[in-house]
A and B are shown apart, each in its own frame.
Chain A
């Protein structure tokens, strides 16, 4: 495993990043998007785990230490994802054009917003809040912020998520169906927000294992 810390230039300034890959063989890439916990060891662990499954994985600190509960601007988030996409496309160990996103919490919302960008193969949103309710500092939910979902989506939710109502999941499903988007929604009734994190001491091995299988299957399918 090769891991490296670097910075990526984006329209609103440099952004910290953490990249992991098995070797220098060209592979599809996954942009990992942090949530409220920020650019911490757990997001880097998930990035390394993604790399172990055969992808170039890169976590970006697009929040730059700011609290996403205050302002979460669609343009800023999309600019950062686009800058990372462009950077990845210039790397010799990335299969050109084969890039997906995977985000957690607000990062799930970021992945959803990023699905409106060209040049991406897929987006995975784990318990993304504000997809169906107004974004912090904005008047519209993510569903209404973007013109069009352009990639297949995998959306994962916990039934006990205190930040996302089951009615919101239903609304997301209805909207994506009406819009003709390609998407999968996976709900785990027993777990809550952030269930994929392993540093919270909760018992969700089954859901973590199942969700991980779905992520890898989704990525292999969209990159095929």
Chain B
């Protein structure tokens, strides 16, 4: 696995990103790519871990900092203060800025020798799960994966209407994953998301793990590598199953 920091031009604004390539990239030809969409904490160690993991699994991984206009270097720890700084940055993004950023990431990936043209998925977490939903209206994406996307069924922090209102414009299949004990996302939000996607006749799957909470996939390195997680450990079994689903979903659609 080879990783490096890159800068992607978004209409004149430099967007920092973290690119991870499989080590066999020189030998295996072109392969699908996955755009990783951070939580609200910036492109931190956990986001890089996920991106590296994708590269280790044979994909090109690219984590973009969609806060680059206001907070290009945001990299916060999982503390109350970190969350506060993250929410502040999240308040400055718009649907248009997110679509411009992901569109630029798609063009960047399509220009890479290692990437198979337009075989690109997004995978977002928390706030980034919403970003994956909002940007699923873009051309060039084969799938969007939304892990516990917080603002999908409620307005964005900047006041824009809930993304489920744009469901008809979605252009790629969606995998939405939630924890049933999520303090930030009530079951009613999941129901509203399901209803909007159904009404718009979209291709989607919703997976809810009843016994886990928000951000259950975070810091899940050990659980993911565990082939036989403890069946009594709800988080470990959810992580293992979710990671299997993600790989299958990308494999089936990209």
Contact = CB atoms under 8 A, between A and B. Distances in A.
Interface of A: 1, 22, 49, 51-54, 198, 201, 203-206, 208-210, 213
Interface stretch (B36-44, B106-114, B224-232, B241-249): B106-114
Contact of A198 (B10, B139, B168): B139
Contacts, number: 46
B117 A206 contact: no
Interface of B: 10-11, 96, 99-100, 103-104, 106-107, 110-111, 117, 138-140, 168-169, 171, 200-201
Nearest to B138: A209
A1 B103 contact: no
A214 B103 CA distance: 15
Given A1-B201, A203-B107, A209 B169 contact: no
Nearest to B120: A205
B168 A201 contact: no
Nearest to B170: A52
A210 B100 contact: yes
Given A1-B201, A198-B139, A201-B117, A206 B103 contact: yes
Contacts of B99: 209, 213
A123 B1 CA distance: 51
A49 B100 contact: no
Interface centre among A204, A205, A209, A210 (most CB of B within 10 A): A205
A206 B107 contact: yes
B139 A209 contact: yes
Nearest to A208: B139
Contacts of A53: 168-169
A207 to B, nearest CB: 8
Contacts of A213: 96, 99
A191 to B, nearest CB: 11
Contact of A52 (B103, B139, B169): B169
B171 to A, nearest CB: 8
Given A1-B201, A201-B117, A213-B96, A206 B168 contact: no
B117 A1 contact: no
Nearest to B96: A213
Nearest to A213: B96
Interface centre among B10, B104, B139, B171 (most CB of A within 10 A): B139
Given A205-B107, A206-B104, A213-B96, 15 more contacts: A49-B171, A52-B168, A52-B200, A53-B168, A198-B139, A203-B110, A205-B103, A206-B10, A206-B11, A206-B103, A208-B139, A209-B138, A210-B11, A210-B100, A213-B99
Contacts of A201: 117
B2 to A, nearest CB: 23
B100 A209 contact: yes
B174 to A, nearest CB: 15
A22 B104 contact: no
Given A52-B169, A53-B169, A198-B139, A205 B106 contact: yes
A208 B168 contact: no
A209 B168 contact: no
Contact of A203 (B100, B111, B200): B111
B103 A209 contact: yes
B110 A208 contact: no
B140 A205 contact: yes
B160 to A, nearest CB: 13
A60 to B, nearest CB: 23
A51 B104 CA distance: 25
Contact of A208 (B10, B11, B103, B117): B103
Contacts of B104: 205-206
A160 to B, nearest CB: 15
Nearest to A201: B117
Contacts of B201: 1
A1 B168 contact: yes
Across the A-B interface, give the 3 residue pairs with the lowest CB-CB distance, nearest first.
A209-B103, A52-B168, A205-B106
Contacts of B117: 201
15 contacts: A1-B168, A22-B168, A49-B171, A51-B168, A52-B168, A52-B200, A54-B168, A203-B107, A204-B107, A205-B107, A205-B138, A206-B100, A209-B99, A209-B138, A210-B103
